[in-house]
Structure 1
Amino acid sequence: METTRFWDVLPARAREALLRAGAPVVIRPGAFLMREHTRASQVFVLRAGAVKVWVDRDGDMAILDVLGPGDLVGEMEAVDGGVRHANVEAVTRVEALVLPAARFRAVLDAHPGSVWAVAAVLSERLRDSNDMRVAHFPDDPERRLATRLLRLVSRFGSPVKEDRPDGAAVPDGVPLEQDAVLDEGGVQVRVPVSQQDLGRWAGMGRRKVAQILAAEPVRGGLTVARNSIVVRSVDALHRLAGHDTD
């Protein structure tokens, strides 16, 4: 499952225009880039770090997405002038390019090809939203959780290989060091997303997430620790998500 990064599909001249029009900012973990129900005034292009997009429903958090480097934040409200539909909160230290919504629209007007980059982002997010709806009818929590994990792998994953001098396995729940590696094909996601966060994102409780991770199709192939997720078999996640791995 590949995600569409705005910066990657943006034409080179439009990138240069955005760099001139915007200003670099650093955002601390826990700070909000924007809040739900407020008027749109800024657009962010993430350069480093991770943010979670979430809404408050009667005191409960529902996570809509977790975005990272190259992703665009605030584009819908900048285009239609509506109020923010969600909160965007930094979960790590974030580096971003920020510019007023009006200036963002001016760059799009001056570089028509950049509109297709925005369209590609919106199309990919709509497709993901449709996939989540399908996974609710009939209810398929395993598929929903697997697709969320695959989005994290696509955005933040880095390959790892096994290289432990004593030959011992990495214990479950223990975050790997930066240079630690697993078996061929393993992937590490160094973003603090907990089992509770995964449940809020996939539409289930933390206990259900734990049950799925402990079940036969996943057991031993994935570890969710405090500050990282280790996926030992991405193919297994694809199979759980209902994707063709041939």
Structure 2
Amino acid sequence: MLGTSSQAHGKAKKRAAAPVMPWGVRKSLLSAANEVGLKSREVLFHAGDAGDGCYFLRDGVVKAAVVAKDGQERLLAVLGPGSLIGELSMFDDQSRSATISALKPCRLLHMSKGSFFRLADANPPVYREALKILTRRLRQTNDSVVAQGTVSVAGRVARAFASLAQGLGEGRANGTILLTNKISQNDIAGMAGVARENASRAINDLLRDGILTREDSFYVIARPDDLEDMAEI
């Protein structure tokens, strides 16, 4: 994924890794899908759009975001290759819950709602794999809720950086992880669920302690294992 070495990701990669879909199921899904390309910053769909199917991200990185009442964009997640996108709307017939846009050029496979259910009805293992994905999303939501009440602001900010490392991380020979897109303090605050001022203080503490560093306008996770320790619930 993005050329990131297992050594560079350390425990952060193990915690965030997506389940691997069996090849037979994946092959069936891919054969019924149409390829879609996105340029950097191009929007795949907006929050509130009707859900016409789901997408499988083959290459590239996308972000999921919403616009808050104050008009500011709030970053929810960064998703890398192997991610399934838009499946919730396909199952519950509700509108899209977030805006998905490309952080890098992307190749995706789109499967319409009708195609998915026809395929799944004929191949029940597809439903089992979909349930695994939805269960994983629910566990992540549960972790986030628990973190809100039990993890310090610094820990929640560390969790945000650990999550970003999965989608944007570029592992390097010295064991550090470069986040290859510019990330703002507002982005971190949105992912961590804290006020921007609190996120700013926590980021400065991480920089002072050497867990994070900066290279030009980019963050570097200098000590991934220490960051992961902070992120644990």
Q: TM-score, with normalisation over the residues of structure 1? A: 0.78
The worse-fitting range, judged by mean Cα deviation, of 24-33 and 148-157 is 148-157
Higher relative contact order (CA 8 A, sep 6+): 2
1:208 to 198, 204, 218: 198
Larger radius of gyration: 1
- CA pair 23-70 structure 1, distance change in 2 beyond 3 A: same
**Which of 104, 113, 129 in structure 1 is aligned with 2:141?**
129
SS state of the match for residue 220, structure 2? strand
Q: 1:63 aligns with which of 75, 97, 100?
A: 75
| Alpha-carbon contact 2:56-2:85 (below 8 Å) kept | yes
Instruction: Determine what percentage of the aligned residue pairs are the same residue.
Output: 27
Structure 1 residues 19-55: Cα deviation after superposition (integer angstroms, max 9, x where no partner): 2211222111222211112211131111111111122
Question: What do residues 74-116 of structure 1 show as CA deviations (whole Å, max 9, x unaligned)?
Answer: 1011122221111112122111111212212223223322223
Matched AA of 1:241: A
Which is worse superposed, 90-99 or 186-195?
186-195
Q: Which runs of 4+ in 1 moved over 6 A?
A: none
- Which residue in the other structure is 1:88 paired with? 100
Provide Cα deviations, 1:98-153, integer angstroms capped at 9, x if missing partner. Answer: 12122122232233222233222222222222222222225721121111211222
State the TM-score, normalized to the length of structure 2: 0.82
Give per-residue Cα distances to partners, 1:162-207, cap 9 Å, x unaligned.
xxxxxxxxxxxxxxxxxxxxx3x32223234333211221123444
Match of 2:16 in 1: 3
Q: Tell me which of 9, 23, 29 is aligned to 1:12.
A: 23
Q: Distance in 1 between matches of 2:207 and 2:231?
A: 11
Are 1:10 and 1:114, in contact at CA under 8 Å, matched by a contact in 2?
A: no
| Distance (Å, rounded) in 1 between the aligned partners of 2:179 and 2:110 | 26
Q: 1:155 to 1:29 in 2, by over 3 A?
A: closer
2:117 — aligned with what?
A: 105
Q: Which amino acid aligns with 2:97?
A: H
For the pair 1:188 / 2:204, whether they are aligned, the reply is no
RMSD: 2.4
Segments of 5+ residues of structure 1 without an aligned counterpart are: 162-182
The structural deviation recorded for 1:159 is: 2.7
Higher fraction of helix: 2
Residue 199 of structure 1, aligned match among 177, 181, 189: 189
Contact 1:150 1:238 in 2 (8 A): yes
2:44 pairs with 1:44: no
Tell me which moved more, 88-97 or 201-210. Answer: 201-210
Question: Which of 157, 169, 177 in structure 2 is aligned with 1:157?
Answer: 169
